Amino acid sequence: MEKIIVRGGRQLHGTVKVEGAKNAVLPVIAASIIASEGKSIIHDVPALADVYTINQVLTHMHVDVQYENNTVTVDATNDLLTEAPFEYVRKMRASVLVLGPLLARYGHAKVALPGGCAIGSRPIDLHLKGFEAMGADVHVGNGFVEVTTNGRLKGAKIYLDMPSVGATENIMMAAALASGRTTIENAAKEPEIVDLANYLNKMGAKIIGAGTETIKVDGVRKLRGAEHTIIPDRIEAGTFMVAAAITGGNVLIEKAEIDHLRSLVSKMEEMGVRFIEEPNGLRVIGPKKLKATDIKTLPHPGFPTDMQSQMMALMLNATGTSVITETVFENRFMHVEEFRRMNAKLKIEGRSVIVEGPVNLQGAEVAATDLRAGAALILAGLVADGYTRVTSLQHIDRGYVNITDKFAGLGADIERVREIPVQNISMKRVEVQ
């Protein structure tokens, strides 16, 4: 079994570079299959497990995908298969993002239903309502969702009950080839939505308003491949911001995009952390003593749910009572039990967690319950007494490239090891005797 072992007590110093954003690259690679002409060349693609999964989904559909030196080249001009089986969707929910592009280009798409996951039930009803509003038939059965349309989709006015990131992306992609105008109201405003719209527009789409709550898409007949560079990962940047702060260190986070990080920066400033904007990134200086604060996760530009568990680690080291309220996902507190194993004082009250700090965190064996929880446990390990052993690394590998090396480069005492299971060790002893 692989583990990340951290020994707490080192201040972090130096420079770390942020990768391209996972949550931007997945929809962009999915969107590349709309192009019936030309190749797409996508730069700054991080070497993440999720990127390999989306590339496998495309390869399964007969798309020609090449991945070398952080660049993905996609040629989708073949006749494509319009199905994505459970094998892929099970590994990564974002596989559902091929629905919109396939429906738009072929009038058909069939994808395994994603089901729930550790952070919540995560339905896709809003994606499907959007497709239906554009004239598609939706059929759910035998663990699959199948969407079909006779001829082109028709532009429609679509109001999202909540600003879902995935639904906004899927509908925007489907609308790109629909006849007439589609208006998405109460659309998600995340920077990753803007990145996807920019890429689609380079492909020949006509999208305005991405990044605001109303997106207008005027459908075109055809899209062609385009060259695009993925935006920096604001959640990876945020994770290193917390690492600098929690250890009282001084770290330059190269390529961190301050405009994408306002809510996090403002909360960390309240806690006493200092930020300096530099030409190539953001410098983060941790204080001697952190102050408690409260956060409530919300759709962008509110506080990102993907930074909630890392902030919990920071609050455990702050003086006073902090309150975290999670409004985006109904079950994103699985890491609370793991933090408790490290001596954390945490109380769950409905959708809030009350954090009493500062505590003397103690190293323990803990499991990453999702990718951000895994990162948060490493952050706690950076300041805990003794050794913290983090398991279930497959979650962390979905969203972080070389996290161990990056922390080690900043001076952390951390390594990734493959441990021989206990039963194998005792069998070996028996053999020797």
Ligand X SMILES: CC(=O)N[C@H]1[C@@H](OP(=O)(O)OP(=O)(O)OC[C@H]2O[C@@H](n3ccc(=O)[nH]c3=O)[C@H](O)[C@@H]2O)O[C@H](CO)[C@@H](O)[C@@H]1O
Q: Is 93 annotated as a binding residue?
A: yes
Q: Is 23 annotated as a binding residue?
A: yes
Q: Is 328 annotated as a binding residue?
A: yes
Least distance CB 276 / ligand PEP (angstroms): 27
**Residues forming the site for ligand X (CB under 6 A):** 23, 26, 94, 120, 122-127, 162, 164-167, 188, 305-306, 328-329
Contact 3, 415 (CB under 8 A): no
Element (H, E) at 16: strand 13-17
Q: Is 233 annotated as a binding residue?
A: no
Residue 256 phi, psi dihedral angles, 5° rounding = -65, 130
Residue nearest to ligand X (CB): 166
Q: Which is nearer to ligand PEP, 42 or 97 (CB)?
A: 97
Integer Cα distance of 8 and 3 in angstroms: 16
Q: Is 22 annotated as a binding residue?
A: yes
Q: List residues with catalytic annotation.
A: 117
Least distance CB 56 / ligand PEP (angstroms): 15
Q: Which is nearer to ligand PEP, 249 or 304 (CB)?
A: 304
Least distance CB 372 / ligand PEP (angstroms): 5
Integer Cα distance of 243 and 382 in angstroms: 8
Out of 399, 401, 406, 412, the only residue in the binding site for ligand PEP (CB under 6 A) is 399
Residue nearest to ligand PEP (CB): 306
236 binds ligand PEP (CB under 6 A): no
90 binds ligand PEP (CB under 6 A): no
Least distance CB 392 / ligand PEP (angstroms): 14
Out of 306, 326, 338, 397, the only residue in the binding site for ligand PEP (CB under 6 A) is 306
Q: Looking at 260-382, which runs of residues are DSSP E strands?
A: 274-278, 281-285, 290-291, 294-296, 318-325, 345-349, 352-357, 365-367
* Among ligand X, ligand PEP, none, residue 124 binds (CB under 5-8 Å by kind): ligand X
Element (H, E) at 50: helix 49-60
DSSP annotation of 306 = G
351 binds ligand PEP (CB under 6 A): no
Contact 249, 13 (CB under 8 A): yes
307 binds ligand PEP (CB under 6 A): no
Integer Cα distance of 217 and 309 in angstroms: 36
Q: Which is nearer to ligand PEP, 225 or 374 (CB)?
A: 374
Q: Is 193 annotated as a binding residue?
A: no
Integer Cα distance of 411 and 388 in angstroms: 16
Q: How far, in Å, are 149, 312, 383 from residue 242 at the CA level? A: 47, 10, 12
Q: Is 288 annotated as a binding residue?
A: no
Q: Where are the alpha helices (DSSP H) in 213-281?
A: 234-246, 262-270
Out of 34, 45, 89, 94, the only residue in the binding site for ligand PEP (CB under 6 A) is 94
Integer Cα distance of 238 and 229 in angstroms: 20
Tell me the site size for ligand PEP, rule CB under 6 A: 8
358: preceding bond cis by omega (within 30 degrees): yes
Q: Please give the annotated binding residues, written as ranges.
A: 22-23, 93, 122-126, 306, 328
Q: Please give the annotated binding residues for phosphoenolpyruvate, written as ranges.
A: 22-23
Binding residues (CB under 6 A) for ligand PEP: these are 23, 93-94, 119, 306, 371-372, 399
